Amino acid sequence: MSKILYPLKFNPILKSKIWGGQKLKSILNKQSDAKNVGESWEISDVDGDTSIVSNGALEGKSLRYLLETFGSDLIGNKNYQVFGDKFPLLIKFIDAKEDLSIQLHPNDKLAAERHNSFGKTEMWYTVQADTDSKLIVGFNQDMTPEKYLSHLKDNSLTEILNFDSVKKGDTYFIEVGRVHAIGAGVLVAEIQQTSDITYRVYDWDRVDDQGNARELHNDLAIDAIDFNMPNNFRVNYSKEQNTPNSMVSCPYFTTNYIEVSGTIKKENIKDSFYIYMCVDGKAKITAYGKTEYLNKGETLLLPASIESYEIQAEKAVLLEVFV
């Protein structure tokens, strides 16, 4: 087990988006001069957007370097056997000032065949939502490819989509093949497979400053939509203090809700890295005598080689993620 590794922070990778706003700066304290910051990639191993360590002795090193250098000590033996020098998750905060495009993601098989990529199973935890904000998740009626294409053709797709009112704490599991969109006024934490493959099917007839519409992917999307998916996307979870409350557990990741008040002693018995996203309050995490503070909007990676650690807070809400 590597004693070199410690709780790791990374520089956020901020992405300007046509639909982005100011909440990543005003609520989560991200630093940027851009006016439409839509996404903060907290931990990323996407090609061209690899996270860089921001703390401690490994400051300036990339996540890819850590994987190649420390391997299973970073992500766990089983994960290293499956993923090798590729980090399996992409961790984000997303601020939608305007509605995101209506979209979906392909499964592992399609993504591998078409894009040499993982699929993109994901989940959202609502950090903040304006009054009357909504998310689009799935259809509001039984759907067939023929009915879907008919509505797509006559520009009435929104008539068959399910609009779900959303508030702080609401959590959604977005499986591959499910049509979805984050609505205007919603700030979410997103946990997903490492993939940047999105099929856009409708973008509200938007154009950019040069009058250009964004590319749509309807030819690819029709084979990727799961028209028989049940509407069981809302995640119900308990909020017992100082213990992990199960939110989502799927083959790609497990996410727990932890409300910390006082001290929690933890042992890593999962043969996995742990990620902590602070979605409210502030906490500190201590391992091997080294302490890192975690403020609202910050994310921390605990390498798999860390066998025990403590989480302390007066009051904080953390999302705990592992594979």
> Which domains, ranges and CATH numbers included, belong to the chain?
13-224 (2.60.120.10), 245-322 (2.60.120.10)
Reference 192, options 18, 14, 45, 29; nearest CA is 45
User: What is the share, in percent, of the chain residues with pLDDT greater than 90?
Assistant: 90
Q: What is the mean pLDDT of residues 11-25?
A: 96
Residue 3 has a pLDDT of 61
- Spatial neighbors of 103 by CB under 8 A, at least 6 apart, are 179, 180, 181, 198, 199, 200, 201
Q: Which residues contact 146 (CB under 8 A, 6 or more apart)?
A: none
Q: Residue 29: helix, strand or coil by DSSP?
A: coil
Cα separations (Å) of 163 from 141, 160, 203, 292? Answer: 12, 9, 16, 40
Give the mean pLDDT of the chain: 95
Q: Where is pLDDT greater, at 1 or 9? A: 9
Query: pLDDT per residue over 85-133, tens digit each?
Result: 999 999 999 999 999 999 999 999 999 999 998 899 999 999 999 999 9
Q: What are the backbone angles phi and psi of residue 140, rounded to the nearest 5°?
A: -95, 10
Kindly indicate the confidence band of residue 201, based on its pLDDT and cuts at 50, 70 and 90: very high
Q: Could you give the CA distance from residue 45 to residue 85 in angstroms, rounded to a whole number?
A: 10
pLDDT in tens, 209-225: 888 888 999 999 999 99
pLDDT tens for residues 125-184?
999 999 999 999 999 999 999 999 999 999 999 999 999 999 999 999 999 999 999 999
pLDDT at 209: 81
> Is the sign of the CA dihedral 91, 30, 11, 304 positive or negative?
negative
* Whole-number Å distance between alpha carbons of 37 and 40: 8
Separation of alpha carbons 280 and 28, rounded Å? 10
Query: Among candidates 228, 224, 229, 227, which has minimal Cα distance to 107?
Result: 224
At residue 2 the predicted structure's pLDDT band, cuts being 50, 70 and 90, is low
Residues 49-64 have pLDDT tens digits of: 999 999 999 999 999 9
**Are 315 and 281 contacting, i.e. CB atoms less than 8 angstroms apart?**
yes
pLDDT at 135: 97
* Cα dist from 44 to 14, 102, 314, whole Å: 11, 23, 30
Whole-number Å distance between alpha carbons of 133 and 182: 9
pLDDT tens for 24-44 read 999 999 999 988 999 999 999
16/121 Cα distance (integer angstroms): 23
pLDDT band for 231, please (50, 70, 90 cuts). Answer: confident
Model pLDDT, residue 242: 97
Other CB atoms within 10 A of residue 52 CB: 16
Q: What is the pLDDT of residue 269?
A: 76
Phi/psi zone of residue 172: left (φ > 0), alpha (ψ -120 to 50 degrees), beta? beta
Centre a 10 Å sphere on the Cβ of residue 318 and count the other Cβ atoms it contains: 26
Look at residue 1 and tell me whether its pLDDT is greater than 70: no
Percent of the chain with pLDDT over 70: 99
Band of residue 316 on the pLDDT scale cut at 50, 70, 90? very high
